[in-house]
């Protein structure tokens, strides 16, 4: 066994880890999970967590409280991974491409209750044709556009019922319901704006379901969700399930949106100080854009965290007025947003932890989480990447 393998399998503290490394605070994860379970219970809907953020069965066990719950995935690699670990009810929440249907069929034949989404008559025809030829009935949700943000059918468009007719035209497919995602919630800044977007998301999904029911189509599932809209919704009356993902970890964007505090952010990137540029007021760390991502999601918020907020690695406490200002592939440039850096906080070889702008994008760079309690490494949890 080489030295790196030994460190990865049996680290004692975070200071034993090679950097960059992805840290996950177990207590913060648990608190975030508990809050969301309480929230969806208050709203009277089922929780279908979106595992695209964590991509980890160990994280899902915390989110579910040990229960057998349905999940949302963004890749079929995730679907295969979670199904192999006992999850049976999976929604693949990216518009289905015909080239992926053989993988869908493989999972269904193995016993997975896998549903797909679509928003075009052509995709419905492809699903119907493929399912018929394979002797399968593939269940689909129609994606509904409730905010003009990305994809979906307008609830009032005749295309909605046309898709439903094509899904119901033979044995190869079946209409299972409607779903929507209010991605525009990330552009809101006031509580009133968040509440309005959340209600528009709910009302649009309900309107689409009612239109379909009026035409005689069964609609058993009405699925909505984003972390901001579920956090701020006044009601989800009529909705059957909420899909949320980034709440599990939180990030700087979510902190700026008010769905969590900076103290709730459960993941961070451990980095080493590798250089000083005192004349320019810069500290170099070994976490660049490949370790942190290029996401600058806080750039338009009152606090721009650059490429990440910098914390003391030992205590986890935020180092005030310090951020990763810029990145190269393997270098992060740390500066003070006001005044001078306290160089004593950044000795060469010292460690810092960096909170991400976007948890999903940052975590995607890593194959595992080092699960922590204080500065101790309590466990190592693997995650699935790829498509």
* pLDDT one-digit tens code per residue, 183-238: 999 999 999 999 999 999 999 999 999 999 999 999 999 999 999 999 999 999 99
For the chain, the average pLDDT equals 96
pLDDT band at 6 (very low <50, low <70, confident <90, very high): very low
Q: What is the pLDDT of residues 225-268, one digit of tens each?
A: 999 999 999 999 999 999 999 999 999 999 999 999 999 999 99
Helix 121-134 vs helix 101-109: angle between axes, to the nearest 10 degrees? 50
CB–CB of 359/249 below 8 Å? yes
* Beta-bridge partner residues of 333: 284, 326
Residues recorded for the chain: 387
pLDDT at 7 over 70: no
pLDDT at 339 over 60: yes
pLDDT given at position 9:
61
pLDDT band at 375 (very low <50, low <70, confident <90, very high): confident
Average pLDDT over residues 47-69: 97
pLDDT at 373 over 80: yes
DSSP symbols for 354-374: EE-S-HHHHHTT-SEEEEEET
For 281, what's the count of Cα atoms within 13 Å in the CB-facing half-sphere? Answer: 12
**Residues near 101 by beta carbon (within 8 Å), at least 6 away in sequence:** 126, 127, 130, 138
Of 102, 204, 78, 211, residue with least CA distance to 149: 204
- The phi and psi torsions of 321 (rounded to 5 degrees) equal 60, 30
Position with higher pLDDT, 252 vs 338? 252
Strands 309-312 and 351-355: antiparallel
Percent of the chain's residues with pLDDT above 70 = 97
CB–CB of 206/179 below 8 Å? no
Cis amide leading into 281 (omega within 30)? no
Average pLDDT over residues 8-27: 90
Q: What is the pLDDT of residues 87-145, one digit of tens each?
A: 999 999 999 999 999 999 999 999 999 999 999 999 999 999 999 999 999 999 999 99
CB–CB of 246/32 below 8 Å? no
Average pLDDT over residues 350-363: 98
pLDDT at 1 over 70: no
pLDDT given at position 174:
98
Helix (H, G, I), strand (E, B) or coil at 33: helix
In this prediction the pTM is 0.95
44-248 adopts what CATH topology? TIM Barrel (3.20.20)
Q: Where are the domains of the chain?
A: 3-22+266-382, 44-248
pLDDT at 2 over 60: no
Q: What is the token pair recorded at 252? A: 């700087």
pLDDT at 292 over 50: yes
pLDDT band at 5 (very low <50, low <70, confident <90, very high): very low
pLDDT at 171 over 50: yes
DSSP secondary structure letter of residue 279:
G
Q: Please tell me the CATH code under which domain 3-22+266-382 is placed.
A: 2.40.37.20
Q: What is the token pair recorded at 74? A: 């963004």
């Amino acid at each position: 066994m080489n030295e790196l393998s030994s460190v990865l399998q049996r680290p004692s503290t975070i200071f034993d880890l090679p950097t960059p490394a992805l840290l996950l605070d177990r207590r913060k994860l648990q608190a975030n999970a508990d809050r969301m379970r309480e929230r969806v219970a208050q709203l009277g809907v089922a929780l279908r967590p979106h595992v695209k953020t964590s991509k980890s069965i160990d994280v899902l066990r915390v989110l579910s409280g040990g229960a057998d719950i349905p999940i949302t995935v963004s890749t079929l690699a995730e679907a295969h991974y979670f199904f192999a670990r006992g999850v049976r009810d999976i929604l693949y929440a990216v518009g289905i491409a015909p080239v992926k249907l053989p993988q869908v069929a493989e999972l269904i034949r193995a016993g997975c209750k896998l549903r797909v989404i679509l928003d075009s008559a052509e995709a419905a025809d492809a699903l119907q044709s493929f399912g018929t030829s394979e002797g399968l009935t593939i269940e689909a949700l129609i994606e509904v556009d409730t905010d003009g943000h990305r994809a979906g059918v307008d609830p009032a468009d005749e295309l909605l019922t046309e898709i439903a007719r094509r899904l119901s035209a033979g044995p190869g497919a079946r209409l299972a319901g409607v779903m929507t995602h209010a991605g525009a919630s990330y552009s809101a800044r006031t509580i009133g704006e968040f509440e309005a977007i959340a209600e528009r998301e709910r009302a649009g999904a309900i309107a689409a379901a009612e239109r379909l029911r009026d035409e005689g189509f069964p609609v058993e599932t009405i699925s909505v969700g984003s972390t901001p809209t579920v956090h701020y919704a006044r009601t989800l009356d009529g909705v059957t399930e909420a899909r949320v993902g980034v709440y599990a970890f939180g990030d700087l964007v979510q902190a700026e949106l008010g769905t969590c505090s900076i103290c709730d952010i459960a993941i961070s990137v451990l980095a080493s100080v590798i250089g000083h540029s005192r004349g320019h007021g810069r500290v170099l760390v070994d976490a660049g854009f490949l370790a942190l991502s290029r996401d600058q999601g806080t750039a338009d918020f009152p606090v721009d965290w650059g490429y990440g907020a910098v914390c003391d690695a030992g205590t986890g406490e935020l180092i005030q007025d310090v951020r990763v200002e810029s990145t190269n592939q393997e270098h992060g440039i740390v500066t003070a947003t006001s005044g001078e850096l306290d160089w004593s906080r950044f000795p060469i070889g010292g460690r810092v932890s960096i909170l991400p702008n976007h948890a999903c994008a940052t975590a995607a760079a890593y194959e595992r989480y080092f699960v922590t309690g204080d500065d101790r490494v309590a466990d190592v949890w693997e995650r699935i990447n790829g498509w």
